[in-house]
Structure 1
Amino acid sequence: MENIFFEITNMKEVSQIIDHAEQHCKEHGSRLTLKRKQVLSGLLQSEKALSAYELVDYCKTVFGENIPAMSVYRILKFLQDEHLVHKLNLANKYVACSHITCDHAHEVAQFLICGQCQRVKEINIGKSMVNQLKHSVEEVGFRLLSPQLEMNCVCKSCISSAA
């Protein structure tokens, strides 16, 4: 398996994010089970978006857990419904929300995806820009189903490596 994980030097930070996510779930009447924590941990520790099958491999390698792919998909759906992860539709992969520990509302999430190394960065755009986009879409006879954009980019590291 290709090494898709980076080493977290501050495991305390990951633990704090998981604790915050667990509290978030409790406040919404749901539970962040051990397996859900393990899947979320994999996304938090990855620099790249991960597929369900990559998360199956992660859980097996890191935790010695054999979680079936269908279970990982259900876990990802739960995490997505709790606004803890985002699904990148074009790649059919998932990333941890960069705002898990925030207690305030954010703008609409957009994703910059490096076409060379596959790193993902979440940014936000204002609702006025989304409304403008929605209006443009409707003008040509379409209806916007999701304002999420996934943009092909090249990250600074890859630009520097090419220079």
Structure 2
Amino acid sequence: MDERLAAAASDCAARQLRFTDLRRDILALILQVDRPVTAYQLLEQLQQTRAKAAPPTVYRALEFLLEQHLIHRIERLNAFIACAESGMHMHPVQFLICLRCKAVTEMDDHTISDVVRRAAEAHHFRAEFSTVEVEGLCADCVLARAP
């Protein structure tokens, strides 16, 4: 985790962006968990060390982290997860969301991205970016349900 935070700080500095302590703390909280986390869950955690933290503070930090491609928003869950790829760049992404345990796996499958791009082009639409969210059961939950 320290490696990821240091890389984020370095990337922000290289772009002359302010990677404030608050932004660092929010990213650290997201990196600590292995599940998507909501803004209010982050706020609860943050208030343990910053009693005066308020929702707008968290949302502004999340907006910055999203804009810098350090995190992703899982629309279906209204939650956030750290980007699995290093560096601050936008990339097509697919998420596998477990309906049972809420685990999320990030993929960057170019085959899927290409299919989406070609389908968009067939409709005379130029896709700039795509996110695909697929719901189902992860391997552990499938095994747990097996007879």
> Please, what TM-score do these two structures have when normalized by structure 1?
0.77
For the Cα contact (< 8 Å) 1:110–1:125, is it kept in 2? yes
Q: Which residue of 2 aligns with 1:47?
A: 34
Asked if 1:153 corresponds to 2:136, the answer is: yes
Q: 1:74 to 1:106 in 2, by over 3 A?
A: closer
Fraction of identical pairs, as percent:
26
For the Cα contact (< 8 Å) 1:59–1:66, is it kept in 2? no
Q: Which residue of 2 aligns with 1:120?
A: 104
In angstroms, what is the RMSD of aligned CA positions?
A: 2.4
2:73 pairs, out of 87, 91, 98, with 87
Give deviations 1:126-160, integer Å, cap 9, x for gaps: 1x642432332454577757410011021122122
| Aligned AA (1:115) | L
Give deviations 1:32-78, integer Å, cap 9, x for gaps: 111111111111111211111111011123x3444211111110110
Asked if 1:57 corresponds to 2:44, the answer is: yes
Q: Secondary structure of 1:112's partner?
A: strand
For the Cα contact (< 8 Å) 1:107–1:125, is it kept in 2? no
Instruction: Work out the number of aligned pairs and report it.
Output: 146
Give deviations 1:78-115, integer Å, cap 9, x for gaps: 00111100111222211111123x59x78522111111
Which ranges in structure 1 are unaligned for 5 or more consecutive residues? 1-13
For the Cα contact (< 8 Å) 1:110–1:150, is it kept in 2? yes
